[in-house]
Amino acid sequence: MSKRTMTLNLSPEEMDVLEALSLKKDLSKTLLLRQALRLYQRVEERLERGETLFFEDEAKKQKAEIMML
């Protein structure tokens, strides 16, 4: 698969989050950002179809809608 390269500028806080998530998920920063892009595209597609994104806590019987920009 051909790949294209880009430079990404992140604030120290953003880099901290990226590094923490990379560590937690045991993924490289590149692989983690690719996964985030896939997920973002999927969420966007579902929202465009009129669907809603929720987080649900079955134990507490709580359901919270995620507001997306």
What span, in angstroms and rounded, lies between the C-alpha atoms of 64 and 66?
Answer: 6
Q: Which is nearer to other proteins, 37 or 47 (CB)?
A: 37
Q: Which is nearer to other proteins, 13 or 48 (CB)?
A: 48
Minimal distance, residue 68 CB to other proteins, in Å: 16
What span, in angstroms and rounded, lies between the C-alpha atoms of 21 and 24?
Answer: 5
Rg of the Cα atoms in the chain? 16
Q: Which residues bind other proteins (CB under 8 A)?
A: 1, 25-28, 31-32, 34-35, 37-39, 41-42, 45
Minimal distance, residue 15 CB to other proteins, in Å: 19
Listed in sequence order, the DSSP H helices in 1-69 are 12-25, 29-48
